[in-house]
């Protein structure tokens, strides 16, 4: 492995990026500390100017370019956060920036990227396809490529996060770091080990896009045939080949997280910390429950908070359903006056709150024998949900839990 990521370079990057970044002080989490038996802190990079850590690597990389390289214009491909980082940094340096983004990129990320003065091109369904388009445009127009992760200067800029964490919490035991292509984790893990080899760095990937885990297992860069995850910022099929040696040397473990766990993590962050964190940033929050350690000081990096309102609404609804706080139950009852009132009385007695009713008279040929009533309810959680179902069973309604459609 080449020794290009040196302590001197990290110190230079740290001094450089402080010109454009917010000081994201660690946030102690009483809730997650009690849940996990550790002392849990969050590094809230969702509070950066551009809503994510990516500004660090982009700004440092552009600072290392020559005037000639900047004058040709910059181009990159990104699912959104690196796009905003490059756009913001390019504006600071007075450069033209062209950003290629997947067509599936949330609208908030597209609009914010444009707001910094960048030209946005939408191409492909995932990052890798957008990157191919960016390479073609760079070749055609002579633009200077700013790779979102497979660049050691970019990774060095991202590593400034580790410098801040260790300055603020020198006794940190574990740092949890999201992985997409690997730039953030390369920078953070390499600097952490340079400063204190005892710090354990855990990389966290979405289960539906675990390209780094596959590459580590194979011993070389692996390209996944496809990716499938709600964590759009880490939906990468191929990790950086320049980064893999650093990950192999400095990352102690990879944890993968299912999408369903990200949904619950979003709900927990909203309710307990009043913070909006995008799905990729929640990887390290969800991973806390997979840690087999106790009484350790753990820092979870919240890599970004750029989530559009429609996605947010959907995630909240699914989170409430997963937690048993919203559910739908189907009951059969005779089609005669007073039956609906009886069912409502049972639910009220059990302290359930009715959100929606659907009355289907055609579930049976004999309407006097049975009509179906679908009731969508609000409950305190899975235990309360089960209590309501039990009360309906006691009254002979034979309730069945069905898929909730809000």
Kind of pairing between the strands at 39-44 and 27-28: antiparallel
List residues bridging with 75 in a β-sheet: 98, 145
Number of C-alpha atoms within 13 angstroms, CB side, residue 403? 1
Overall size of the chain counted in residues: 406
Measure Cα distances from 218 to 149, 211, 214, 278, 286 in Å. Answer: 20, 11, 6, 30, 26
Helices 55-63 and 81-93: crossing angle in degrees, nearest 10, is 40
* 82 vs 132: CA distance, rounded Å: 16
Q: What is the 3-state secondary structure (H, E, C) of 71-83?
A: HCCEEEECCCHHH
Buried/exposed code over 131-154 (b: 16+ C-beta within 10 A; e: otherwise): bebbbebbeeeebbbbbbbbbbbb
Contacts of 15 (CB under 8 A, 6+ apart): none
The torsion defined by the Cα of 389, 394, 399 and 401, in degrees rounded to 10, comes to: 20
Alpha helices in 48-158 (DSSP H): 55-63, 67-71, 81-93, 107-115, 127-141, 152-158
Q: What amino acid positions are annotated as catalytic residues?
A: 54, 303
What is the DSSP secondary structure assignment for residue 102, as one 8-state letter? -
List strands edge to edge, sheet with 174-178: 27-28, 39-44, 297-302, 174-178, 200-206, 253-257
Distances (CA, A) of 334 to 132, 329, 337, 388, 389: 62, 17, 9, 20, 19
């Amino acid at each position: 492995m080449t020794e290009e990521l040196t302590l001197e370079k990290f110190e230079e990057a740290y001094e450089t990026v402080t010109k454009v970044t917010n000081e994201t002080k660690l946030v102690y989490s009483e809730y997650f500390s009690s849940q996990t038996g550790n002392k849990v802190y969050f590094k809230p990079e969702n509070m950066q100017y551009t809503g994510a850590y990516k500004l660090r690597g982009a700004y440092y990389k552009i600072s290392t370019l020559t005037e000639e390289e900047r004058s040709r214009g910059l181009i990159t491909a990104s699912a959104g956060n690196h796009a905003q980082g490059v756009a913001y940094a390019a504006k600071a340096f007075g450069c033209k920036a062209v950003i290629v983004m997947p067509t599936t990129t949330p609208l908030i990320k597209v609009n914010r990227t444009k707001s910094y003065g960048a030209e946005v091109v939408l191409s492909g369904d995932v990052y890798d396809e957008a990157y191919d388009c960016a390479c073609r445009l760079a070749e055609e127009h002579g633009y200077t490529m700013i790779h979102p992760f497979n660049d050691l200067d970019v990774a060095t800029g991202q590593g400034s996060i580790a410098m801040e964490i260790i300055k603020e919490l020198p006794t940190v035991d574990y740092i949890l770091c999201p992985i997409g292509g690997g730039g953030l984790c390369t920078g953070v893990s390499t600097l952490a080990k340079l400063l204190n080899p005892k710090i354990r760095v855990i990389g966290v990937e979405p289960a539906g896009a675990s390209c780094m885990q596959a590459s580590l297992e194979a011993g070389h860069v692996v390209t996944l045939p496809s990716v499938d995850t709600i964590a759009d910022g880490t939906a990468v099929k191929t990790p950086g080949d320049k980064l893999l040696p650093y990950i192999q040397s400095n990352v102690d473990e990879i944890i993968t997280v299912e999408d369903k766990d990200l949904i619950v993590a979003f709900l927990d962050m909203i309710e307990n910390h009043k913070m909006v964190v995008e799905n990729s940033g929640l990887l390290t929050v969800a991973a806390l429950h997979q840690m087999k350690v106790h009484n350790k000081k753990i820092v979870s990096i919240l890599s970004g908070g750029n989530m559009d309102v429609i996605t947010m609404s959907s995630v909240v609804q699914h989170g409430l359903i997963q937690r048993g706080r919203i559910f739908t139950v189907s009951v059969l009852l005779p089609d005669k006056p007073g039956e609906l009132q009886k069912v409502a009385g049972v639910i009220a007695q059990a302290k359930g709150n009715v959100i929606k009713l659907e009355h289907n008279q055609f579930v049976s040929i004999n309407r006097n024998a049975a009509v179906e009533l679908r009731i969508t309810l609000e409950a305190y959680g899975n235990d309360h949900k089960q209590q309501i179902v039990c009360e309906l069973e006691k009254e002979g309604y034979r309730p069945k839990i069905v898929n909730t459609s809000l």
